[in-house]
Amino acid sequence: MKNESPKSKVQSPKPAAHKNSTPLLILISAPSGGGKTTLCEMLLAACPHMTRAVTCTTRAPRPREQDGVDYHFFDAAEFLKRLHAGNFLEHATVYGNSYGILKSELLGKLREGKDVLLNVDVQGAATIRERALEDPELSRALVTIFLTPSTVEELERRLKKRGADAAAAIQKRLGVARQEVAQWKNFNYLLISTSKPEDLRRMLAIVETEKMRVARSQPPEF
């Protein structure tokens, strides 16, 4: 059911705390219908130490949306000012509105000791990987995951089940998806989506593994 909470459907063990490990910048990307939004919701519910990155936008707030919680709402002039100042790690224009992720948003949360979750498309992921190479702090924290069903037929089934698009729109999405899936080798991990509980279990395993990497660990106290 669409209104069911991820917590009610998936009972997963809470990940162990890693006090001697630096925070992670978890980036999840997937083709449309691949399940990344659902996985991100479940991951945030399972990980109290993790927070999502708040995106900036020039679109008007919708009912019940809060500035600084759902989005950072900027007018066009303020957004352009920050863009020219190089404040955005990644930005795009969608249906006439601008969206962007502030570098300071990510670094601020990482420096607070929080793991940060990014839900972006393949193009945005490429930009973030490139920009992170210029910043040792972001590069050290970044972990990229590409989520996709195993076949285009399964992706088509999911898109049809969602019931949000006409047949022609679904075929267009599948054409874009084929191009996006071809980029999977550019990510640190490939997660083949099966079921919601299994996707979350493997995602938590990735987080645990990355937390234990020597490059992110502090020396044991002996």
Coil, helix or strand at residue 39: helix
124 domain-assigned: yes
Report the C-alpha gap between 98 and 57 in whole angstroms. Answer: 5
CATH number at residue 182: 3.40.50.300
What six digits make up the tokens of 199? 């996707």
- Taking the model in full, what pTM does it have? 0.83
User: Within 10 A of 23 (CB to CB), how many other CB atoms are there?
Assistant: 21
Its domain, for residue 155, covers: 8-53+114-211
Strand partners, 144: 27
Report, as ranges of residue numbers, the positions in the chain whose pLDDT lies below 70: 1-20
Contacts of 31 (CB under 8 A, 6+ apart): 122, 148, 155, 173, 176, 177, 180, 181
Neighbours of 69 (CB within 10 A): 8
In this prediction, residue 48 carries a pLDDT of 93
Do the domain assignments include residue 33? yes
| 78 within a domain of the structure (yes/no) | no
Amino acid 44: pLDDT: 96
Q: What is the pLDDT of residue 113?
A: 94
For the chain, how many residues are written? Answer: 222
pLDDT of residue 132: 93
Please tell me the predicted confidence (pLDDT) of residue 34: 84
Residue 184 vs residues 41, 121, 123, 148, 192: alpha-carbon distances, Å: 22, 12, 12, 9, 11
Q: Considering its fold, how many domains does the chain have in total?
A: 1
Residue 150 falls within a domain, yes or no? Answer: yes
Q: Is residue 163 part of a domain?
A: yes
Query: What's residue 20's pLDDT?
Result: 65
Q: What is the rounded CA–CA span in Å between residue 46 and residue 52?
A: 13
Does residue 198 sit within a domain? yes
Residue 200 lies in a domain: yes
Q: Is residue 168 part of a domain?
A: yes
